[in-house]
């Protein structure tokens, strides 16, 4: 089962205790499926969505939608009789003479009803991507004004979607995990919202660990590169003037570096007879590099 299907299953299984919220949920589902005087129907792959559509219309409007198809994983329910479609229009306060389809706000009487309405809308035309792959939730709406009304309603509850037209359809969408979590919670899909949150936390931990590993690998690479140059300088001094020609403090650090090629400067500092700081070790090694550079210049000259 896809993540989107599991969200719809969770939404469809919510127990609705008030008649006004049931009314709003079924209204959202019917309005954003196929809703016109000639066609009140839904085609869906989600059995829970199909059930809510069929049972909701039966309970609210006294009409029993007909099951037209259940092949190829898609289920189609339709209100076939013209008289029954008139009943549905009457129950939700719509008229066959409407020029454009809009949300009739009289069907949304309270905040809880708004939540139920959006829940129905999502079951009708919404999808959400598996958070393990990407963060994306969208509503695919066929009518511009209906889409505008949906955006207005969402914004009233501080849910701020983006909008785009794709292949003639109006897309209301969210791309960030926090907004998707908020919308899922608003609709009542708390389990799914927690799942998105859990995946995000897991991704954040993995990203932090990867950044730490990359940083440590980068630091280790820099340490090895620097140590290689230091050892090369010490070996040049040893092959020309001899390490004993160095002052005692430089001779001590030179010997330690030869014996510990992968050790950090801080650790080298603690290994000295009289421990010094990382910057102190770096200062001594810089002097050794300078001496080796002078030797190399004189040799070439």
**Sequence ranges of the domains in the chain:** 3-188, 204-300
- Does the global pTM surpass 0.75? no
pLDDT (tens digit, 9 = 90+) per residue, 22-50?
999 999 999 999 999 999 999 999 989 99
pLDDT (tens digit, 9 = 90+) per residue, 252-271?
998 888 888 888 888 888 99
pLDDT (tens digit, 9 = 90+) per residue, 101-150?
999 999 999 999 999 999 999 999 999 999 999 999 999 998 999 999 99
Superfamily of chain region 3-188: Homing endonucleases (3.10.28.10)
Round to the nearest angstrom and report the end-to-end CA distance of the chain: 77
pLDDT (tens digit, 9 = 90+) per residue, 83-97?
999 999 999 999 988
CB neighbourhood size of 198 (10 A)? 11
For the cut 90, the answer to whether the pLDDT of residue 73 exceeds it is no
Q: Cα–Cα distance between 182 and 109 in angstroms, integer? A: 21
């Amino acid at each position: 089962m896809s993540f989107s299907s599991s969200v719809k299953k969770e939404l469809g299984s919510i127990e609705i205790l008030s008649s006004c919220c049931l009314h709003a949920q079924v209204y959202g589902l019917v309005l954003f499926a196929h809703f016109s005087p000639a066609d009140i129907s839904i085609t869906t792959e989600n059995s829970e969505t199909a059930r809510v559509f069929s049972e909701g219309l039966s309970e609210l409007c006294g009409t029993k939608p007909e099951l037209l198809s259940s092949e190829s994983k898609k289920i189609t329910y339709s209100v076939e009789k013209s008289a029954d479609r008139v009943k549905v229009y009457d129950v939700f306060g719509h008229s066959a003479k409407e020029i454009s389809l809009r949300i009739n706000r009289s069907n949304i009487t309270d905040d809880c009803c708004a939540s139920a309405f959006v829940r129905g809308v999502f079951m009708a035309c919404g999808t959400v991507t598996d958070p393990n792959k990407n963060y994306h939730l969208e509503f695919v709406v066929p009518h511009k004004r209906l889409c505008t009304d949906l955006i207005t309603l969402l914004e009233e509850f501080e849910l701020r979607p983006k909008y785009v037209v794709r292949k003639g359809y109006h897309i209301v969408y969210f791309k960030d995990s926090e907004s998707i979590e908020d919308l899922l919670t608003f609709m009542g899909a708390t389990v799914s919202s927690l799942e998105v949150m859990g995946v995000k936390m897991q991704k954040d931990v993995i990203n932090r660990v990867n950044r730490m590993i990359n940083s440590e690998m980068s630091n280790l690479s820099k340490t090895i590169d620097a140590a290689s140059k230091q050892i090369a300088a010490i070996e040049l001094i040893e092959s020309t003037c001899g390490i004993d020609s160095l002052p005692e403090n430089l001779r001590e650090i030179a010997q330690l570096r030869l014996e510990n090629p992968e050790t950090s400067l801080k650790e080298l500092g603690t290994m000295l007879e009289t421990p010094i700081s990382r910057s102190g070790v770096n200062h001594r090694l810089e002097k050794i590099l300078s001496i080796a550079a002078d030797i190399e210049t004189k040799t070439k000259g």
